[in-house]
Amino acid sequence: MTEIVLVQPEDTVRLIPLALKEAEELKLKNINPEKLRASLKRCAENGAVFASKEGKHYTGLMALLAVESWWGDVMTLCNLIYYVEPEYRNGAGLKLLKVAREFAKEAGLELNIFTDTDTDHDRKDRMFLRYGFERRGGTYRSK
């Protein structure tokens, strides 16, 4: 059974293997693991990092950073990483999204999810739209 946990800054290092899997899936080059570790920690300190787990195995993560919007006085929670291992994409991604949305709502923040994937476009669109997000290019914004 998939469990969603809030990851503390000192524990974000455990999520680096998942973030590297996303980088590999996206065919990103020149990955700096130290910068990745620092980015995950910054999200945990200035936003939130949620992870999906099956037992002791981390299966997905959503790293969110609170930022001021460039267009006005609106604080927005934006994801730096939203990744779920392929074999766990039937449910873990939606659970992460629901927890992130509830966190943003309780904090009074708008939630923007940026996607950068070459797979599952139709499935991804259906999930976001069904859950009440609006699509703007490659971004899904909570209503």
Q: What residue segments make up the domains of the chain, in order of their start?
A: 2-142
**Residue whose token pair is 């509830």:** 102
pTM for the model: 0.89
Predicted confidence at residue 119, as pLDDT, reads 62
Q: What is the largest CA-CA distance in the chain?
A: 42
Specify the CATH class of 2-142 in words: alpha beta
User: Per-residue DSSP letters for 21-35?
Assistant: HHHHHTT--S--HHH
pLDDT digits over 67-101, tens only? 987 777 778 889 889 999 999 988 898 899 999 99
